[in-house]
Each structure stands twice: as C-alpha cells, then as structure tokens.
Amino acid sequence: MARLLIAFLLLFAGLVGGGCTYNETTEEWQFDAISRDEEIALGAQYQPEMIREFGGEIADPGIVAYVDEIGGRLASYTEGEDPELPWEFTVLNSDVINAFALPGGKVFVSAGLARRMENEAELAAVLGHEIGHVSARHANERAGSGLAIGGATMIASIFLGTQIENETMAAFAGLFTVAGGQLVNLQFSRSQESEADRLGIRYMARAGYNPVGMLGLMRVLQEAKEESGSGRLAILSTHPLPEARIRRVNGVLEEDFPAALASPTRDVFADRFRREMLDRLPPETPVALRPPEHLGGHTSGLAARWCAHCRGMAVQSD
C-alpha cells in the first residue's frame, strides 16, 4: 500500500504542474496539460517543419493576403483571449488534400484541397474548423487525457508489482517536448471533430458567410474520396468520413440555420474565390511527376504522423 500511496503522490505532483481553466469556447472546465504560452511556443517552433514537410508555402502575395484576411476575420470571432493568439494561415504547396493546425494558432490548408473548392465559404469552413480545434484546445485536452491514462497505468503496475513496457508513458512524456513527433500524434475523438465542425459553422456565420459552406466542404471531400480513394486524401486519415460529417452538419444547419439551406448561393463569394485563389494557384503536379510520398498521402517524416493535429481518427463510418 505504501507503494500505491507513493504512486498517487507522484501522479498528483505531475498533474499539478498544469491546472484547470474555464474554456469560454466550449463553456467547460478543462485541464491544461500545458499552458497557453507553451502551446504558442510549440506552434511557432514546429510551423517551419510542417511547411517543409508539405512542400513549402504558396508565397504568392495575393493568396497570402487573401487567406490571412479570411482567417484573421474568422479568428476575430473566437471567444475569450483567443482573438489575441498569434494566428497565422498558410497555404501549402501540396497536391495532397489536407488541412490541419498546430496549437497556438498556426493553421494550414493544402493547395490540393483549395483547388477542389468552389467558393470562399468553403475555404472559410475549413479554416473555421481548424480554428475550432485551436480555440477548443483539443490538443491540450487530449494531452491531459493521455497523462491521466498513463498515470493510471503506472499506478496499476506498481500496485500489482509488475513491470510494464514504458511505451505509453514515454509517449505521454513526449507530449510536452514533441520529442519524436509525439505531440503531433495526438488523436482527436469523434466528438471533438464534430465540435470543431460546429465551431467552424459558428465562426463562419459570425463573419458573414453562409454556413452552408461547411456542407459544401463535406461534399468536396466526399467527391474526392469517390474519385481517387484515400491515397491522396490525407485528411481522411485524421477526420471522420465525409458521409458521417455531412449528416451531422446538415442536422446543425436544419436546426440553427434553416435560412442558409434555403438560400445556398447567398454569401458564398464564388467569383472572389476564383479570382483571388483559384486563378493564382500553380497548376496541379501531374501524377507521374509527383515524388513518392505524394502517392501515399505523405508517408515520410512527421507528415505521416500529423494531419489536422488529430491523427488516429482513422477512416471510419459513423
């Protein structure tokens, strides 16, 4: 029993390094495995690495200004202190269909996904979804859950007098340092993905976009999946299948935004999106000329472990 007491004390000592805060976005109390300043530092540290892993940044000044304006406007409608985060929005020079975010406000969308979209509201939808992950602090939430599970495993092993492989505990330790890419291996639950969709719709509506754009984004993903399978649809490795999301998003719109469904072409800004984004993007790389990692949805380096910072949601039906 003495060993069990010591284990509890050690776990408690590890957990009190964080703390509980009220998240104004989710309107819930949340355990902070790492502080907001640490989230910001991690995002800033790993932003350049993510850009390198995904083919570099589309540096066209017009595209940069356009996406910054949309993303910044959406982020300005987040809750609490989140509008003051150092938000940055990057279009990646990658043909892989993907989008993700790092803790602290670094948001990425691939050129491959942007080319599939038809209007600005769909772009606002994907940016809003990733902003939702950041504002809900989903990465921090998952890190805290990991610590609790790892601590319980440690306590059980000590109480039973057994030795366990330390892989789980090592992974949780890596959450704090991103050693070996552990932080970017965070898994999001279906409820967190759904929450990010709902938050994206919330921020779109506040910013003056027709929230039907979120439904349009889901259909873009569905069409891409049907055309090419999941090989270049990297976003499917980290998000629920679009069929399930279409049902849930449609339910939210029917309940909260029936007028949007009744006028699906209003406030979607298709002409501006084509002028400011599609006409400026470089042409898609022919399949025969793509490097091998593009054919498998980026199988090398951190790119294989990070997508939309919610790896592990895996391809699954509702």
Positions marked active-site: 130, 197
Sheet bearing 106-110, strands edge to edge: 88-92, 106-110, 99-102
CA-wise closest residue to 234 among 168, 284, 300: 300
Contact status, residue 119 vs residue 268, Cβ threshold 8 Å: yes
Looking at residue 141, its amino acid is: E
Tell me how far apart the alpha carbons of residues 110 and 93 are, in angstroms, rounded to a whole number: 6
Tell me how far apart the alpha carbons of residues 310 and 314 are, in angstroms, rounded to a whole number: 9
CA-wise closest residue to 174 among 26, 33, 24: 33
Radius of gyration of the chain from its Cα atoms, rounded to whole angstroms: 20
Q: Which residues are CB-neighbours of 289 under 8 A, at least 6 positions away?
A: none
Phi, psi of 144 (to 5 degrees): -65, -40
E-strand stretches of 178-288: none
**Using N-to-C axis directions, what is the helix angle for 138-160 and 2-15, rounded to 10°?**
170
Tell me how far apart the alpha carbons of residues 175 and 7 are, in angstroms, rounded to a whole number: 21
